[in-house]
Chains A and B, each alone.
Chain A
Amino acid sequence: MLKMANSFPEEVLEHVFSFIQSDSDRNSISMVCKSWYEIERWCRRRIFIGNCYAVSPRMMIRRFPDIRSIELKGKPHFADFNLVPEGWGGYVHPWIAAMADAYPWLEEIKLKRMVVTDETLELIAKSFKNFKLLVLSSCEGFSTEGLAAIAANCRNLRELDLHESDVEDLSGHWLSHFPDTYTSLVSLNIACLGSEFSFSSLERLVGRCPNLKSLRLNRAVPLDRLANLLHRAPQLVELGTGAYSAELRPDLFSNLAGSLSGCKELESLSGFWDVVPAYLPAIYSICPGLTSLNLSYATIPSPDLIKLVSQCPNLQRLWVLDYIEDVGLDALAVSCKDLRELRVFPSDPFVVEPNVSLTEQGLISVSEGCPKLQSVLYFCRQMSNDALITIARNQPNFTCFRLCIIEPRTPDYLTLEPLDVGFGAIVEHCKDLRRLSVSGLLTDRAFEYIGTHGKKLEMLSLAFAGDSDLGLHHVLSGCENLRKLEIRDCPFGDKALLANAAKLETMRSLWMSSCSVSYGACKLLGQKLPRLNVEVIDERGHPESRPESCPVEKLYIYRSVAGPRFDMPGFVWTMDEDSAVRVT
């Protein structure tokens, strides 16, 4: 029998591995045998860590000596909705400090929902000589001072993306820290920043970077400066405008339209704060080439939106406010046959009565008219089981379906029944569904459907749903591929959790807030399942001061080989073997 291992030199095997980049395939390779494990760990260059507390920096470094690109995620997803109290954690500094020594050739750092300080940014700036890419997505804790350090020191920087981060914006001056000799910028996303930049600085930067492909400006960049910028960067593929408003001036309009039409490669547009609809026709010339349009900040009335989308036959992704209304979505369904992803955000979620005419009908139209639609995030105020069934039948290709009926526990508006059957149809027909968010009035039956059919489901978000532990039990016991489960305000207690405790070890994380899980159950889980970190988050003071049967405020359970963390604030406790266990 030919032993491949004998005749196959390591370098050749390494070369084969270089064509295999997906994380799961690299995992598989490393588990094949000793020699492959060794070869693989030395040549792994890219790593994704979905939960920064699941492993420690030291463990990662020990195993992988030469990483060039790292992606880390910190806080749980519900942090986006202010459900994770400030100070919970997600500090990236220990990682950077460890990597500064171990990975001098690190090129890329991508962080999501982590706390990044100016010190961290300064450390990055001076530690990695070949640093190329920094993505800070929904991060916080740093100021424009830290950005200045990056700009000043990272000679090879290609990409700086501050996607929706919370930055202490001291001034726009940091941009001027890019030296005049710096020309390698490819992508810049500063849309989340508030302050003004020196426009001449910005223009010079844009002008001297011939490879600039993606530029997302912030609101402070006025429309009349946009044309100048575009003249210097006609090679742009992605553009995020600043404020899209100005007084109506024909010269301004023609300048803008001219500069935009000069950008023959443009595929993606975003920005559009404070839109003055009269200026929208300036982008018509590039609409046929657009594949992605993000209008989630744009208050554009429906007729203008219709005119716009009707000119974008190649649109694949649309993010828009509910101003588009059902009529707009009808038009979308007619014009944009290549649509893959739709997100409709609420313009005024705090008003109970609808302020726009957007109903379930819009989603039905799109599901009918757009055969490639795979991903939906839809905020609306009414839904019916029939509508959901229709949508499910129209579009069995959904991989991501997130429906947010604004008022919690809203029933089927036609029959006043729960929406169990509707969501049941979604999970039943959409066999490849990986991500699901449910809303409206739902009983345990809905979860029975989800558990029965949601076999490929990886992420599930629940709020104000279900009747009892049976609901949670259906999900935990049925959804085999579940990785992330986040729950708020559902009547789930100890039973389902304890009965399915081992399931938790197969998932990345579980978040439960405002549910009925008792402190005692948390302690038990922490004790009995040493590979889980069971974090109790409770701002009412130490749970020991209350009876064990008292439910905890918030619970975050995640698996980890790094053990309990030590950077927790005073309102977070990790349940472990040392938790006192009272035996009656």
Chain B
Amino acid sequence: MSEGDMAVIKPEMMKSYIWLQTADGSIQQVEQEVAMFCPMICQENIQKGMGSSKNHAISLPERVNTAMLSLIIDYCRFHQVPGRSNKECKAFDEKYIRMDTKKLCELTSAADSLQLKPLVDLTSRALARIIEGKTPEEIREIFHLPDDLTEEEKLEPLKNSTDDPRIRLLNRLYARKRRELQEREKLKNAELEEERSDDRSVDDLLSFINGEIGDSKGIKTSKNKKKNRRRKDQQKNTCLYEANEIHEESSNLKFACPSDEVNKFRASPSLTLKLQDLNDDSLEDMVEFDDGDIDDEIDPALKEKIDREVEDFARRLNSDWPQRIQEILALDMLEDIQGGNGSYKQNIPTSANGWNNFDQMLTGF
């Protein structure tokens, strides 16, 4: 502070004020003890001598506009009073923090730029509580965030080291099924949208041949040790779980599965979709759909035969389905990929949300 300034200040030392200028230009004065609660303001004042007059108002960071400053001052005004009990502080904080999410974000940001840690913690915790328990879509909605994750980032990049036509067929089937279900969902929303063509490339996600062969080699096998009959066997396990119990049942348990029938099984690719996720771009991104790529070597006529046989198979199996499943069929949610007439009687596991997300591998979902 210059000597000239000192002369101006002294008579007003009854109640000191700090002058602050917000990003949107307005200048105001705030009681010194309140403003100094903010480390950044404190620093500007003490180290650089700013804030002692209107002309030397402390320029607040960009993230602090008038509205935010007002909120922050409210916080500081309460908390800078010494001797407040924990209970009082908590009550104030709980009431204080009630604001819409947008404001909360702004406030967090503003408090951070002023280095006001207690307020940053308070607002951050509040934001964390908002985020907890929500799906990614919901979070995106709340915070207006773009849905820009590519498949590479959702799933660890896996190299498809073979050009296996079966894998490409599977990819195509997945893509087509997802597209169909997506379309149906869009129709349900009474908006007909143009089908988006997916020209983004995919990193061959459905193969997991990632070339990491050497990881587990050279592992020492466990040492020979005497096998103690562990006490826990007796406790958690009884005759029920003894390995040497032979299960004998009549021969109707033996399902004849001639190898050809088994070979013709085709997996339905739709089943990992949760219906709510049909609009989830991420799933769509994950599969390559390239109409030019029709050089698969599987005979389409054989495919037709396979599909019909599997449906037959499933139909025989499902002769006395519970009501609920009949309802699903009635809604005709599933159509045969080849555009056939029958419904492929499968249940859509609705808990899966892009199961092939790396994270779900981790949590052993």
Chain A interface (Cβ < 8 Å from any Cβ of B): 1-5, 7-9, 11-12, 15-20, 22-34, 36-37, 47-51, 54-60, 62-63, 73, 78, 80-83, 86-87, 91, 93-94, 115, 117, 119, 140-141, 143, 164, 166, 168, 296-297, 345-346, 349-350, 377, 379, 404-408, 439, 448, 451-452, 463-464, 468-470, 473-474, 476-478, 480-483, 488-491, 493-496, 498-503, 505-508, 514, 516, 518, 520-521, 523-524, 527-531, 548-549, 551, 559-563, 565-567, 569, 577, 581-584
Contact = CB atoms under 8 A, between A and B. Distances in A.
Interface of B: 63, 102, 105-106, 108-109, 112, 120-121, 124-125, 127-129, 131-136, 139-140, 143-149, 153-156, 158, 164, 166-167, 170, 206-210, 212-213, 215-217, 219-223, 225, 227-228, 230-243, 245, 247, 249, 252-260, 262-263, 265-272, 282, 313-314, 317-318, 320, 322, 324-325, 345-347, 349-352, 354-365
Contacts of B238: 346, 349-350, 379, 404, 406
Contacts of B259: 520, 548-549, 582-584
Given A34-B148, A87-B222, A94-B215, A19 B349 contact: no
16 contacts: A4-B144, A32-B140, A37-B149, A115-B222, A117-B223, A143-B223, A346-B234, A480-B351, A491-B247, A499-B318, A501-B268, A506-B272, A559-B355, A567-B219, A577-B167, A582-B259
A157 to B, nearest CB: 24
Given A166-B225, A463-B241, A577-B164, A494 B355 contact: no
A503 B146 contact: no
A464 B363 contact: no
A11 B112 CA distance: 9
A473 to B, nearest CB: 7
Given A19-B125, A117-B222, A531-B208, 11 more contacts: A12-B120, A19-B124, A23-B359, A59-B156, A82-B233, A166-B225, A408-B240, A499-B345, A502-B267, A524-B262, A581-B263
A275 to B, nearest CB: 15
B131 A29 contact: yes
Given A506-B272, A516-B253, A584-B260, A530 B364 contact: no
A4 B220 contact: no
A561 B144 contact: no
A12 B231 contact: no
Nearest to B238: A349
Given A16-B128, A80-B237, A82-B233, A508 B208 contact: no
A527 B266 CA distance: 10
A520 B128 contact: no
B76 to A, nearest CB: 19
Given A50-B364, A531-B206, A489 B325 contact: no
Contact of A20 (B105, B106, B128, B147): B128
Contacts of A17: 128
A502 B271 contact: yes
B305 to A, nearest CB: 12
Contacts of A81: 233, 236-237, 241-243
A166 B232 CA distance: 11
A537 to B, nearest CB: 12
A530 B362 contact: no
A17 B129 CA distance: 10
A57 B212 CA distance: 11
Contacts of A34: 146, 148-149, 153
B240 A31 contact: no
B134 A28 contact: yes
Interface centre among A1, A493, A524, A565 (most CB of B within 10 A): A524
B363 A528 contact: no
Contacts of B245: 408, 464, 489
Contact of B360 (A11, A27, A473, A520): A27
A91 B153 CA distance: 28
Ranked 7 nearest A-B pairs via Cβ: A50-B364, A502-B271, A19-B128, A349-B238, A27-B359, A141-B222, A506-B352
Tell me the dominant secondary structure on chain B's binding face: loop
B234 to A, nearest CB: 6
B364 A560 contact: no
A12 B108 contact: yes
Given A31-B149, A91-B219, A56 B257 contact: no
Contacts of B254: 493, 516, 551
A529 B262 contact: no
A143 B265 CA distance: 48
Nearest to B150: A34
Contact of B102 (A2, A29, A30, A518): A2
A32 B145 contact: yes
A136 to B, nearest CB: 13
A27 B317 contact: no
Given A33-B148, A408-B239, A531-B206, A502 B346 contact: yes
A32 B364 contact: no
A86 B135 CA distance: 41
B152 to A, nearest CB: 11
A56 B208 CA distance: 11
Contact of A483 (B208, B217, B365): B365
A469 B365 contact: no
B207 A530 contact: yes
A294 B226 CA distance: 27
A57 B215 contact: yes
Contacts of B131: 16, 20, 25, 28-29
A349 B253 contact: no
A306 B220 CA distance: 50
Contacts of B361: 49, 51, 54-55, 559-561
A516 B253 CA distance: 7
A500 B237 contact: no
Contacts of A119: 220
B231 to A, nearest CB: 7
B343 to A, nearest CB: 13
Contact of A26 (B208, B324, B359): B359
B347 A477 contact: yes
Given A469-B317, A529-B267, A561-B158, A5 B145 contact: yes
Contacts of A19: 124-125, 128-129
B257 to A, nearest CB: 5
Contacts of A82: 233, 237, 243
Contact of A8 (B105, B146, B237): B105
Contacts of A531: 206, 208, 356
Contacts of B354: 31
Contacts of A27: 357, 359-360, 362-363
A165 to B, nearest CB: 10
B149 A12 contact: no
A196 B104 CA distance: 60
B213 A566 contact: yes
Contacts of A500: 346-347
Contact of B255 (A58, A495, A506): A495
Contacts of A349: 234, 237-239
Given A4-B143, A63-B358, A406-B238, A12 B112 contact: yes
B267 A469 contact: no
Nearest to A581: B263
Contacts of B124: 12, 15-16, 18-19
Contact of A4 (B105, B121, B355, B364): B105
A527 B206 CA distance: 12
Given A31-B149, A502-B346, A451 B243 contact: no
A24 B363 contact: yes
A60 to B, nearest CB: 8
Contact of A404 (B240, B260, B346, B355): B240
A331 to B, nearest CB: 22
B283 to A, nearest CB: 11
A67 to B, nearest CB: 11
A405 B263 CA distance: 40
A57 B230 CA distance: 31
Interface centre among A5, A49, A503 (most CB of B within 10 A): A503
